[in-house]
Amino acid sequence: MAPEESEVKPVSISEVKNILKKVEKEREELLYEQKIALEHAQKFAKLPIKKIDELIKELSELEFLDEIHVYKLTDLLPQTEDDIKTIFAKERVTFGESEVKKILELIRKYYTE
């Protein structure tokens, strides 16, 4: 049986950015893969970690969303109903119109393009 420390937990792109910045300060240089991951996170992290944490908390309170869906939504920050449908097109999950509107309402509370 694997120890608890090896448990997989999703993290947002903003969290990845913060983690890699801390590692970069501790070391003189990041590994190649870490550099690429940090560049990606800096390019695509659209919100600061504080706002992301608040959004994750609010989205997690929606009973129809799984944890992995919450993190996917906070990383991508969809702006339309079609965006949400596209994000979840390959998954076996569908949201009703009211659920999609609730998701968009929460996302727009923290982020608007």
Task: Looking at the structure, tell me whether residues 20 and 53 fall in a common domain.
Answer: no
Residue 1: predicted pLDDT: 45
For residue 66, give the CATH number of its domain. Answer: 1.10.150
State pLDDT tens for residues 73-111.
999 999 999 999 999 999 888 899 999 999 999 999 998
Q: Do 56 and 95 belong to one domain?
A: yes
Q: How many CB atoms are located within 10 Å of the residue 71 CB?
A: 21
Q: Structure pTM?
A: 0.84
Looking at the structure, tell me whether residues 28 and 54 fall in a common domain: no
- The pLDDT value recorded for residue 57 is 97
Domain that holds residue 97: 49-110
Kindly indicate the confidence band of residue 8, based on its pLDDT and cuts at 50, 70 and 90: confident
| Residues 37 and 20: beta-carbon distance below 8 Å | yes
Number of domains in the chain: 2
Does pLDDT of 6 surpass 80? Answer: no
Residue 84 included in any domain: yes
Q: Are residues 105 and 55 in the same domain?
A: yes
Report pLDDT digits (tens) over 36-57: 999 999 999 999 999 999 999 9
Residue 25 domain-assigned (yes or no): yes
- φ, ψ for residue 2 (rounded to 5)? -80, 145
DSSP letters for 34-73: HHHHHHHHHHH--S-HHHHHHHHHHHHTSTT--HHHHHHH
pLDDT at residue 23 is higher than 90: yes
CA pseudo-torsion sign 79, 48, 23, 38: positive
pLDDT tier at 4 (50, 70, 90 boundaries)? low
Does a structural domain hold residue 4?
A: no
